[in-house]
A and B are shown apart, each in its own frame.
Chain A
Amino acid sequence: MKDVSIGRYVQGESVLHRLDPRCKILLFILYMVTIFLAHSALAMVATLGVILFLTLLSQVNPVEILKSLKPILFIMIFIFVINILTIRSGDTLWSWWAIKITTGGLKKAIFMAVRLVFLIVATSILLSLTTTPLKLADAMESLGSPLKVIKVPVSEMAMTISIALRFIPTLVEETDKIMKAQSSRGAEYDTGNIFQRAKGYVAVLVPLFVSAFKRAEELAVAMDARCYQGGKGKTKLHPLRLKGSDVLWTLILVVVAFIPLAVDLLQNLK
């Protein structure tokens, strides 16, 4: 049995790895706004610069970052094509039958695709590649704690997320075990048409659910036995603490986030 990696966290000691996860979530929201507000081509270039700066700061291998683009490649192409076909403004570049490609459409399509790439890369660098899922859950609990006033069970939700994370490797292992056991009984998952395959997976999914429920039940008893009483009065082994360096880096990154917007603003003034 090995460490099954949850999410795509890459171990490291960079500034971004050490930054308080709460700051990272807030910064991420800010960068998201920047990416969508940046309007001109020049501002886009500035955004690219900012993204490269973040990449440098994270010390994560750029290959890892590019890998995160792979799953959304299809959506990217889809958005690109939709934009290019539906937006008609400016000069016509090429037309055939009902299809008409215009400069405005092309520009918009490129912008949208680039924004999407920026967004994914920013998510990867700020969150998934440099923050463990557990820290993210902690940060969300902490940021969401004001909601406790209106009786939102924030701690319990965070506990649920952390238990889910804890059980992913266990369930992956279990799935493998059940698939092997059913194969031994002649089950097939990779032959036949889609219905036969789906049927093959019933023999895996039913036992998996049954066992997951059993695990949940046993875990609940075990948690009870260890005096779990919800979030009330619960202390933490590794509480989140805002350090001076967190504040400093957050301020720096906030300023950096405004650079593309400033570029836009300057262009408009001219």
Chain B
Amino acid sequence: MDPNSRDIAEYEQAVQAEDILFSYATNSGQNVVAVNHVSLSVEKGGYLAILGRNGSGKSTLAKMINLLEVPDKGKLSVFELDAGKDENFWKIRSHCGMVFQNPDNQIVGTTVEEDVAFGPENLSVPLPELAQRVEKALGYVGLLEKAEKQPSSLSGGQKQKLAIAGVLAMEPQLLILDESTSMLDPKARDEFLHLVRRMRQDKKITVIHITHDMHEAYLAERVIVLEKGKMRLSGTPSEVFSQVETIRSLGLELPKWAELLCEVARLCGVTPDQSDFTSEENAVRKICEIVKTKKADPEKREEKPAREVSDQVVLRVSNLSHRYEKKEKNALSNVSFDVRKGEIVTVIGHSGSGKTTLISHLNGILRPLEGSVEVWNEEDKKYLSTDKNKEIKMIRRHVGLLFQYPEYQLFEETVEKDIQFGPKKMGYDEETCKKLTKEALPLVGLTEDILKRSPFELSGGQKRRVAFAGILAMDPDVLILDEPAAGLDPAGQKEIFGYIETLRARGKSIVLVSHDMDEAARIADRVLVLKKGEQVFFGKPKDLFSEGSDYISMRLDRPCLMQTLHELKKELPYVDEVLFDVKEAAQSVVYGNDGEVNI
């Protein structure tokens, strides 16, 4: 049969890439190889995850499949059509759907239904089929009642569903997800992934998923890992993740249960097999087997060092309420908590629970409608209040606030000027500004050679650090950080959390907003839980997740590690399930709580 006249859906291999190479020239004339001799194949209905650090060539690879980029060398066929031939161009592209990272930057339509119609309109789909496709797609993702609304009225999760609907209306064979879930909160992320799973089942759509989330990678049938454009690992999730050392050296992480497995195995001197990495269940089984059969090495036992927190309250919020419009209901009601010197308080809650409203109050960007926000001023030994206009400037000097995705706040010609913007505004002299800048850099892993560069030529991760340094250079006592690690690769996230812990050790107080329940619980001294603008919990993370606490009614997800420990506890009743640190958990599993077990 003539390959040009066949039905587009008749193929076995969705994507076949042989030895493809892609390079581009930078502004300074350097030639960068983004994808370096990569070969891969995805069969029809398959699910491939692509992992790797930021800038490892993942997106470029995905864009080539959708013909948004053309490989310099190598052979690429999509749906068994040669991608190099012009006549196949629209056939391939019109059957590939792509959902990008930023929900806002892929919506074209002024209304929800217009946006869904955009793809099929471009494919010249006539009415009434066009309207039917739009309705069907919106129904499928559950946005039918929003059809005539403006996209800006949707939440982030709904916007990504809208993007999926826009793809569905084009009746795709292949769906490419380019970090599509990275800007979503856990609930929206679950819903999104559920939708993708349903599409695979109902429509046999092939999925290629670029992600930084290791739990998401485990949903795939096959995983490839890229490093600087080269394919370093490829195989089933268990084949890839059982190569623990390589995974870590590539800037990735293991899912929490696999981390626990490795740590327990290390303490008992065994090496887990690939089969133990196939699923959480198998890992739990293996951990039980190890603990029951092997003697642990008592030398490796560690006590968790006790942390001391001073009694000095540096930030005090009392009965804080706020609403944006007179007739609306409160965005925040009656929130009271305090932050002590050298303490991390994490704020958790779903999107729309009032987290951003709360943190905007902490440095006086918003003023309390009721209640008060007070900040300790060490020099005068008294509290400043955001109620008083003349104290606002002083408060901003004491409380540094870093909003989500802070890289957008960079604007100066050089990194140095940008970092010094804050300190200068705070009235420090030239000399002090220079000193503060120099001190801030190493705290976020930057070196002085970056100072003369333009912030706009830096990578995303570097920009994030520069923005962070800009706040640190104001030398605040209290740092308010809104999702400081969002959108970074696992190694980058780990580094950011590392900096935060170092800052705490230096006596800074930190209020941290985070969606990552595992990190939020692990790093926190105390946790503040918001639900629909109301404070439902304030206290130690252990108390939040311990038995008898009603964190489920707060609609919080249990940290992944706790989930694993919960499963383990069924076999090993002595295990403490309310632990948030893998090392600590492994110690508890292996040595028991009082040390009498298994030695």
Which A residues are closer than 8 A to B by beta carbons? 1-4, 133-134, 162-163, 165-166, 169-170, 173-174, 177-178, 180-188, 202-203, 206-207, 210-211, 214-215, 218-219, 221-229, 233-239
Contacts and interface: CB of A to CB of B under 8 A. Distances in A.
Contacts of A162: 109-110
Interface string B398-436: 001111001011110000000001101110000000000
Nearest to A168: B152
Contacts of A236: 117, 121, 127
Nearest to B114: A237
A215 B119 CA distance: 19
Interface stretch (B70-78, B93-101, B371-379, B582-590): B93-101
Nearest to B116: A237
Nearest to B423: A186
B401 A211 contact: no
Given A181-B406, A184-B401, A227-B90, A3 B134 contact: no
A222 B98 contact: yes
A225 B93 contact: yes
Contacts of B121: 234-237
B56 interface: no
A174 B396 CA distance: 21
A203 B408 CA distance: 11
B40 interface: no
Nearest to A163: B108
Nearest to B69: A221
Contacts, number: 154
A166 B403 contact: no
Given A166-B108, A170-B152, A235 B93 contact: no
14 contacts: A1-B152, A163-B108, A169-B150, A184-B365, A185-B471, A202-B411, A218-B102, A219-B106, A225-B93, A225-B98, A227-B170, A234-B122, A235-B127, A237-B121
B411 A203 contact: yes
Interface in B48-84: 63, 66, 68
Contacts of B114: 134, 237-238
Interface in B213-239: none
B157 interface: no
A226 B170 contact: yes
A164 B76 CA distance: 37
Contacts of A203: 411, 421
Contacts of B365: 180, 183-184
B105 A165 contact: no
B474 interface: yes
Contacts of A173: 152
Contacts of A206: 411
Nearest to A177: B403
Contacts of B102: 215, 218
B91 to A, nearest CB: 11
A166 B131 contact: no
A207 B110 contact: no
